[in-house]
Amino acid sequence: MDYSGYIALILQGAVVTAQLTVMGCALALVMAFVAGLGRLSRFGAVRALATAYIEFFRGTSVFVQLFWAYFVLPLLGVELTPLQAGVLALGLNVGAYGAEVVRGAVQSIGKEQREACVALNLTRFQAMRHVVLPQAIVPMLPTFGNNAIELLKATAIVSLISISDMTFQAQVMRAQTGSTLVPFATIMVIYFLFALAISGAIRALERRLTRGLDGVRA
Amino acid sequence: MTAHAAVPPIIEVDRVSKSFGDFKVLDELSFSVAPAEKLALIGPSGSGKTTILRILMTLESIDSGHIRIEGEELYHMEKGGRLVPADEAHLHRMRAKIGMVFQLFNLFPHMCVLDNVTLAPVLTKGVAKEAAKRRAMELLDMVGLADKAKAMPAQLSGGQKQRVAIARALALEPRIMLFDEVTSALDPELVEEVLAVMHRLARETDMTMLLVTHEMGFAHDFADRVMFFDRGRIVEQGPPSEIFTNPREERTQGFLRKIIAAGHRI
């Protein structure tokens, strides 16, 4: 049997999955920094808001969040396309995990670095922007890589709100051809290659950012 | 004041107290420092001498009392005719007068030496990048490290790191420099190169300098006045020749004996 038409469909789905992953990661990254730094704010209200976001999105299933974004928000007057709903749910969910990574990494930068910033009369913002964050990014990267791969795999659930991602197309192929092995072996390989690409990119970034820091960090 | 009795003090510490939990580090401490004076603070660990420097740099708050820098309150500001706790803007204005060098250098490991020195002048004083670089190179030259401008801190020895840290603090042109046990973390053979830089600073600038140190020989040569601290109070103070050769107080004598027994020279 000729599967080539179906494989082309799956590759189209792969493009959708890649889009969801890239946009979801972008939103997650923004949320991770906003909420992670929010948790370290001087202002109690900001800390409370950040904590509420993190706990809520970590504590409820991404599946439920997706259904809220797509089916419940319209009832409240917010209409989203399936892609927007998917990116929103994935980004907010993974961003909540990322926020704790940002907070932990920022807190891991020694007190003596902050004290040097005070002695050099930098503002809090300048200290964060030029001294703390550039150093904190490095320990964030491995966990960010994990989070990005988690997000990639979680994109499969968007097929439930009728986005034709890779998993959706595999199910179409399975229903129409009766073959389970071919579509699911295909998408398994593609998911794996995507994940490999993410790990590779993170490692390259890590190497770039640790140049010259030898002996400073393990 | 010993040397400059007529000149108003640049630093006034006025009945300052500070506790860490139940431990009273500073107990109603008062002293003042004249402009351009070189003051050495000595005493056993835990006597509060480092805390004084940290308080002057606003790294540590005070529980009570007042500190005035060039006549202006450090931790307070006037608002509607009353003194209220200082806000960030006031602290920034005051910090611009003061620089500090730390025991563990606290260089920024992700920046080269030159960037370590130029960062603060560019960000806090709006100095143009090129001008900041030129000035940084002069300062690095003064501390003997012009050839290390592009090196990363991890590639330097402890003595070199500390000399970069001194250049970094000087780049902001503070009126007052605080040196907190700047040679304590160095291998013995690297101590001299750092002390030489400080000697030169003391000779060639009219910066006010406060120095916490265990190098009694250096304190002797460097300082106009030595203050001996114990348990958050000044036990004895005076010119180094007096304190080191003819201390009046028993606790000072005991402390100096121990220091000499530990192999430090005076």
Q: Give the pLDDT score at B3.
A: 53
Contact B30, B19 (CB under 8 A): no
The first and second tokens of residue A80, run together, are: 């989203």
**Side-chain-facing half-sphere of A121: CA atoms under 13 Å:** 27
Buried-state track A117-131, b at ≥16 Cβ within 10 A, e below 16: bbbbbbeeebbbebb
Phi, psi of A202 (to 5 degrees): -65, -45
Q: What residue type is assigned to position A3 of the chain?
A: Y
Name the residue with higher pLDDT: B2 or B187. Answer: B187
Q: What is the DSSP letter of A132?
A: I
Strands annotated E in B34-106:
38-42, 64-69, 72-73, 76-79, 82-85, 98-101
Q: Give the pLDDT score at A194.
A: 97
According to CATH, the topology of domain A4-210 is MetI-like fold (1.10.3720)
Residue of A nearest to B120 (CA): A120
Separation between Cα atoms, residue B115 and residue B183, nearest integer Å: 23
Contact B216, B264 (CB under 8 A): yes
Residue of B nearest to A125 (CA): B123
The first and second tokens of residue B173, run together, are: 């042109």
Contact B74, B67 (CB under 8 A): yes
B90-131 confidence digits (pLDDT tens): 999 999 999 999 999 999 999 999 999 999 999 999 999 999
Contact B219, B239 (CB under 8 A): no
The first and second tokens of residue B34, run together, are: 């004249």
Q: Give the pLDDT score at B1.
A: 45
Contact A41, A50 (CB under 8 A): yes
Strands annotated E in chain A:
none
Question: Would the pLDDT of B264 be above 70?
Answer: no
Residues B147-176 have a mean pLDDT of 95
A134 min Cα distance to partner chain B (Å): 7
B265 pLDDT tier (thresholds 50, 70, 90): low
The CA–CA distances, whole Å, from A34 to A49, A101, B102, B257 equal: 11, 12, 32, 57
Domain boundaries, chain B: 107-173
Give chain A's residues under pLDDT 70.
1, 212-218
- Name the residue facing B96 among A112, A115, A121 (closest C-beta): A121
Residues 89-118 of A with CB under 8 A from B: 112-113, 115-116, 118
Residue that the structure tokens 């891991």 belong to: A108
Residues 6+ apart with CB under 8 A from B88: A123, A124
Residues of chain A with C-beta less than 8 angstroms from the C-beta of B92: 121, 123
Percent of chain B, pLDDT > 70?
A: 97
Q: Give the pLDDT score at A215.
A: 47
Separation between Cα atoms, residue A32 and residue A186, nearest integer Å: 32
The first and second tokens of residue A171, run together, are: 């199910």
Domain boundaries, chain A: 4-210
Residues of chain A with C-beta less than 8 angstroms from the C-beta of B59: 115, 118-119
B27-53 confidence digits (pLDDT tens): 999 999 999 999 999 999 888 899 999
B100 min Cα distance to partner chain A (Å): 6
Give the other-Cβ count within 10 Å of B109's Cβ: 19
Residue that the structure tokens 């192929």 belong to: A173
Give the other-Cβ count within 10 Å of B101's Cβ: 26
The CA–CA distances, whole Å, from A172 to A62, A106, B177 equal: 23, 45, 73
Residues 6+ apart with CB under 8 A from B189: none
Separation between Cα atoms, residue A153 and residue A166, nearest integer Å: 11
Residues B81-89 have a mean pLDDT of 88
3-class state of residue B16 by DSSP: strand
Separation between Cα atoms, residue B159 and residue B188, nearest integer Å: 10
Q: Give the pLDDT score at A159.
A: 87
- Name the residue facing B124 among A113, A122, A135 (closest C-beta): A122
Q: Any CB–CB contact under 8 A between A60 and chain B?
A: no
- Which among A83, A205, A95 is positioned nearest to A150, based on CA atoms? A95
B108 min Cα distance to partner chain A (Å): 7
3-class state of residue B162 by DSSP: helix
Residue that the structure tokens 């009392």 belong to: B65
B188 pLDDT tier (thresholds 50, 70, 90): confident
Separation between Cα atoms, residue B99 and residue A150, nearest integer Å: 47
A191 min Cα distance to partner chain B (Å): 35
Q: Give the pLDDT score at A217.
A: 42
Give chain B's mean pLDDT. Answer: 92
- Verdict on whether the full-model pTM lies above 0.80: yes
